[in-house]
Amino acid sequence: EVQLVESGGGLVQPGGSLRLSCAASGFTFSSYWMSWVRQAPGKGLEWVANIKQDGGEKYYVDSVKGRFTISRDNAKNSLYLQMNSLRAADTAVYYCARITFGGVIALEYWGQGTLVTVSS
Amino acid sequence: EIVITQSPATLSVSPGERATLSCRASQSVSSNLAWYQQKPGQAPRLLIYGASTRATGIPARFSGSGSGTEFTLTISSLQSEDFAVYYCQQYNHWPPITFGQGTRLEIK
């Protein structure tokens, strides 16, 4: 059974940093692109970042470029999102998701999400 | 950036009836479109990818159609568990991957 479990969310002050983790199990983690998607309270879904199987390609939404870094450790079956210079607008539930195999960039499996609140 | 517009924002339908949700892209995305269902307090669930291919375990009452800029998600006979928010997402021109703003399907 595919499982994705996020952790690391919490309350942080504007300008602060936070590192989210996503522990993957039930599939060959190193074979899949992975993604972070966020959802502000009461709002819709917003894609944040993607990372290729070997970590060699990374893509970001413009609003987080230069502040967020997606990474992975295939030996630990883990995905990460380092978030720096956090703003109130970054407040959201952050989901990690596995992208479908074979070039279709649909988000096939999702974690339960972790809430990040940026507030003073 | 491709803008995705969903309509209507809210759709009221009775159980057992058919629901038709629409998704429009600001430029052609070919068939590179997915649909998701999200229930309160839960993560989204992938329903459809490639505009018309059901994801694993998705009931046959869910069907997707369209290509280019116009897409439709049809739920043929609504069950109580189908009342939720539905999002479409394009992956033809990325980054960025973009989602529609969602359609809330509510019980009439």
pLDDT digits (tens, 9 = 90+) for A84-101: 999 999 999 999 999 998
* Measured CA angle at B14 (ends B24, B63), to 5 deg: 40
Mean pLDDT of chain A: 97
Residue A6's pLDDT is: 98
With tokens 């924002």, the residue in question is B9
Q: Cβ B99–A105 below 8 Å, yes or no?
A: no
> Residue type at B82?
D
Q: Cβ A100–B49 below 8 Å, yes or no?
A: yes
- Closest partner CB to B49 (pick from A62, A104, A109): A104
The CA distance from B82 to A11, in Å, is: 34
- Closest partner CB to B99 (pick from A45, A108, A110): A45
Q: Cβ B44–A45 below 8 Å, yes or no?
A: yes
Share of chain B above pLDDT 90, in %: 98
How many Cα atoms sit within 13 Å of B51 on the Cβ side?
18
Q: Cβ A107–B34 below 8 Å, yes or no?
A: yes
pLDDT category at B23 given cuts 50, 70, 90 is very high
Residue B54's pLDDT is: 97
Best of A27, A35, A105 to disrupt the B interface (most B CBs within 10 Å) is A105
- Closest partner CB to A112 (pick from B36, B43, B98): B43
Residue A104's pLDDT is: 84
Q: Is A9's pLDDT higher than 80?
A: yes
pLDDT digits (tens, 9 = 90+) for B30-73: 999 999 999 999 999 999 999 999 999 999 999 999 999 999 99
Q: Is A103's pLDDT higher than 80?
A: no
Best of A3, A5, A6, A47 to disrupt the B interface (most B CBs within 10 Å) is A47
pLDDT digits (tens, 9 = 90+) for A23-71: 999 999 999 999 999 999 999 999 999 999 999 999 999 999 999 999 9
The CA distance from A68 to A71, in Å, is: 10
Residue B105's pLDDT is: 97
Q: Is A102's pLDDT higher than 80?
A: no
* Measured CA angle at A117 (ends A111, A119), to 5 deg: 170
User: Is residue A96 within 8 Å of residue A36, measured between CB atoms?
Assistant: yes
The CA distance from B28 to B30, in Å, is: 6
